A and B are shown apart, each in its own frame.
Chain A
Amino acid sequence: MATETEQAVEKGAEAAGGPGMPQLDFSTFDNQIFWLLVTLILLYFVLARVALPRIAAILSERQGTITNDLTAAEDLKAKAAEAEEAYNKALADARAEAQKIVAQAKDEIKAELDEEVAKADAEIAEQVAESEKKIAEIRESAMESAKEVAKDTAKELVAAMGAEADGRTVTAAVNQRLKG
């Protein structure tokens, strides 16, 4: 310790006889404090006026950019979802439309078919009626012919038996028999 002090004293003509530690050389305090205050004041103004507002602006701008980008991304996502929904809706609509068209076509065809069937049925019924009428006519005429033949036959039979046949009585008898 003694040596150190000696050294400092030895060396310390310029340290103004400091007691070993230049830190405790009070003759340089005013100088250091003066320059420190100058530096701090300059530094404070540079930082407070220029550097810090600028960095704050840069940071907030970046934050803004990021937020904007995120919002834009969100928007695009929403748009994509919307587009998908619209596409799905269009698809569903088209499907419904197609089904409607199919049903309509089916109905039309069925109606047409029904009509045709009804027409054909009517035609058939008409033909059947006509045929029946014809058959009835034929049957009528056949009956008439049979009556005539029966009368004639009966007259001839009566004549052959040798009796004078009254035409009117024979006819009535035949008629009665045919009815019975």
Chain B
Amino acid sequence: MATEAQGGDEGGLAFHPMDQFIVTPLFGDGEVGTFTITNVTLWMAIALLAIIALLVLGTSKRETVPGRVQSIAELAYGFVHKMVEDVAGKDGVKYFPYIMTLFMFIVFANFLGLIPTAFTVTSHIAVTGVLALLVFLTVTVLGFVKNGAKFLGLFWVSSAPVALRPVLAIIEIISYFVRPVSHSVRLMGNMMAGHAVMKVFAGFSQVAVIAPVSILAVTAMYGLEVLVAFIQAYVFTILTCVYLKDALHPSH
């Protein structure tokens, strides 16, 4: 705050770390309606096209000895497939396309968001919230469809002393319903915080004296954010697998 005031004195040092998250229409300056084509639309479309370029165009030659792009596509496939198989079990593999969709979308949105001036769709709670809610609803419905009332056994810790079980059940139920919140806020918070911090550091570079430090800091943050972009996608996906496992095998 002090810096900002001082900056004002020096001539227009302004911080707008959150402006990068504003949803704006691509064409014109009108209101953002439900079907308005906005920067959200643009960057989701770019993510979609990039994924298609990698997974569809990259594998179009169907080479037995893969080239670079096909190798990456196969790597992504193998990575998620193995994750689903290891965490959710053999019967979880049926839901692999769904999990692959989530992973590819998040990882591409995260990485594309790191391009300067890009818009990071995964830094919005509206987006991550829907992703998490979709997982939550799917998993809950799946749990009841597959196991019936036995799915409630997930909340009844049969290995605990009888007296403790009702208490644990309440805790389990609360933690179950908190899942979509933590699931979505974790991703959104990580993406938003990293980008905002980078913007703040970038803002400091307006002052010549600290510009080298701030540029160094932005570079370091950028490296960290590249890591975070992948790790958060991985965390989101592996948690989805864990929830899926709970739905398929609710016993503790």
Contacts and interface: CB of A to CB of B under 8 A. Distances in A.
A43 B22 contact: no
Interface stretch (A56-64, A99-107, A119-127, A149-157): A56-64
Nearest to A66: B64
B192 interface: yes
A21 to B, nearest CB: 6
Interface size class on chain B is 35 or more
A167 B41 CA distance: 175
Contacts of A158: none
Interface stretch (B125-133, B140-148, B160-168, B215-223): B125-133
B21 A36 contact: no
Given A54-B59, A61-B64, A62-B64, A31 B33 contact: yes
Interface in A13-27: 14-16, 18, 20-25, 27
A52 B130 contact: no
B23 A32 contact: yes
B123 A44 contact: no
A23 B125 contact: yes
B74 A55 contact: yes
A30 B160 CA distance: 44
A38 B100 CA distance: 17
Interface string B202-232: 0000000000000000000000000000000
Contacts of B126: 23, 28-29, 32-33, 36
A159 interface: no
Given A3-B4, A8-B18, A55-B77, A25 B48 contact: no
Given A31-B33, A32-B40, A23 B55 contact: no
A43 B48 contact: yes
Contacts of B21: 21-23
Interface string A1-19: 0011001100110111010
Contact of A46 (B32, B45, B52, B63): B52
Contacts of A62: 64
Contact of B97 (A20, A22, A23, A52): A52
Contact of B29 (A3, A14, A42, A44): A14
A47 B104 contact: yes
Interface string B15-31: 11011011110000101
A25 B16 CA distance: 16
The 4 closest A-B CB pairs, nearest first, are: A51-B55, A28-B23, A48-B97, A22-B21
Interface of B: 1, 4, 14-16, 18-19, 21-24, 29, 31-36, 38, 40-41, 44-45, 47-48, 51-52, 55-56, 59, 62-64, 66, 70, 73-74, 77-78, 96-98, 100-101, 104-105, 121, 123-127, 130-131, 134, 188, 192
Interface of A: 3-4, 7-8, 11-12, 14-16, 18, 20-25, 27-40, 42-44, 46-48, 50-52, 54-59, 61-62, 65
